Amino acid sequence: MSRYHQYQKAFADIPKPFAYIDLDLLDQNMAEIVARSNGKRIRIASKSIRSVPMLRRILNYHPMLQGIMCFTASEALFLWENGFDDLLLGYPVVDKSLLLSITQAVQQGAQITLMVDSLEHVCLIEEVAREMDTPLLLCVDMDASVPFFSLHFGVYRSPLHMVEEVMQVVERIATSSWLVLDGIMSYEAQIAGVGDNMPGQSIKNGFISYLKKRSIRSIREKRARVYNELQRHNISIRFCNGGGTGSMTSTCQEDAVTEVTVGSGFYAPALFDYYREFRLQPAAGFAIEIVRKPKPNIYTCSGGGYVASGSIGKEKLPAPYLPPKAKLLSLEGAGEVQTPVRYTGEQELSIGDPIFFRHSKAGELCERFPALHLLREGKIVGEAMTYRGEGRCFL
């Protein structure tokens, strides 16, 4: 039985649109990620998962999967209330009321590490820690972008470009009796989040591959220098965090790195089909319903306009997945209330049948649906509520 027929049969009684997770494919992805870890701890990027039951499932899969990188303070507090610990804020928190809430959670036993990349961040958190008479854990975020003539290859994230700038913040933290340096992190987004095997873009792919190799050398040297400086100053840290799904192969080889953050790799959205280094299984997707047939080989579905964030491009559109050979129309794409699909395959499609799609990115899928229907060996075995299904929206 084809995967389309298997999915169609399994989800026959589920109203469309709906989102799903194929647990068999998820297991394969988790096994592949653990196998690539090179003994490093894998921290889960919650922004790519956005579901409490799925976070639990992933963390329970293997001892190498430990800790969560959260994307907002409110989310970190929500996860702590749901029994999670070792929570690293991936982004700075500058709202004092949220910092006070984080500190209150720490007073009750929560292990939450705050992200900083400036002396301003440090002073703000120190003020709250002193006011609440509670020491707080900090992680310093080091820039991992690489300049190439006038090109900024990477994301505009941390202002700490030089090792000396990182150490200035580290040394300021060391002088405070209210702050504890817990870790160092750097996210090489230009390696982890940029595909280098896009169809029909051989010249661009070659250029990106060259810049990736250049970036790998640069960030490896920079992290090693920071590690050596910490040792020279007798400063110990609990972790050095790096990477992402797309950079696991290189990041996990670095001696200075103790853990790598992975998120998208578990669901394996469509953007991750275009990497030279690896290929993961399409574990997550959504289905929309054929409601019209305006022309032969054109099937118009209800909804479907779940476009991913980031720079604008066709690769941010959801990708028709099953049945094979289904494609979006270039002049309409995926629409707010309808999405026409051109299909020239052998499968006979009728009004009411599903077309299965994959979202371009990972966690944003969960912002559209209240639950993920769970499939195991071709049968529905339950559902996992998303943040949205629990009435939560953090960004």
pLDDT exceeds 70 at position 201: no
- Give this prediction's pTM: 0.94
* Total structural domains within the chain: 2
Domain holding 242: CATH number? 3.20.20.10
Residue environment code for 29-40, b if the CB has 16+ CB neighbours within 10 A, otherwise e? bbebbeebbeeb
Rounded Cα gap, residues 243 and 25, in angstroms: 23
User: Are 289 and 260 members of one domain?
Assistant: no
Segment 269-302, tens digit of pLDDT:
998 887 766 789 999 999 999 999 999 999 999 9
User: Are 119 and 260 members of one domain?
Assistant: yes
- What does the pLDDT average to over 67-96? 98
pLDDT exceeds 60 at position 340: yes
- What does the pLDDT average to over 59-69? 98
SS3 198: coil
Domain that holds residue 161: 23-264
394 found inside a domain: no
Segment 124-172, tens digit of pLDDT:
999 999 999 999 999 999 998 887 777 777 788 999 999 999 999 999 9
Question: pLDDT band at residue 195, thresholds of 50, 70 and 90?
Answer: low
Segment 7-36, tens digit of pLDDT:
999 999 999 999 999 999 999 999 999 999
User: Are 256 and 342 members of one domain?
Assistant: no
pLDDT of residue 246: 80
Domain holding 316: CATH number? 2.40.37.20
| Maximum Cα interatomic distance, the chain, rounded to a whole number of Å | 72
User: Are 306 and 369 members of one domain?
Assistant: yes
pLDDT exceeds 70 at position 194: no
CA distances from 317 to 32, 249, 372 (A): 26, 27, 20
pLDDT exceeds 80 at position 202: no
Which of 168, 176, 164, 162 lies closest to 119 in space, CA to CA? 168
Mean model confidence pLDDT for the chain: 93
Could you report how far apart the first and last alpha carbons of the chain are, in Å?
Answer: 40
User: Are 53 and 153 members of one domain?
Assistant: yes
What secondary structure letter does DSSP report for 78?
H
11 found inside a domain: no
pLDDT exceeds 60 at position 363: yes
390 found inside a domain: no
Question: pLDDT band at residue 203, thresholds of 50, 70 and 90?
Answer: low
Question: pLDDT band at residue 116, thresholds of 50, 70 and 90?
Answer: very high
User: Are 236 and 88 members of one domain?
Assistant: yes
Inter-residue contact 99 to 115 (CB < 8 Å): no
- What does the pLDDT average to over 214-240? 92
pLDDT of residue 244: 86
Inter-residue contact 44 to 75 (CB < 8 Å): no
User: Are 259 and 301 members of one domain?
Assistant: no
pLDDT of residue 214: 74
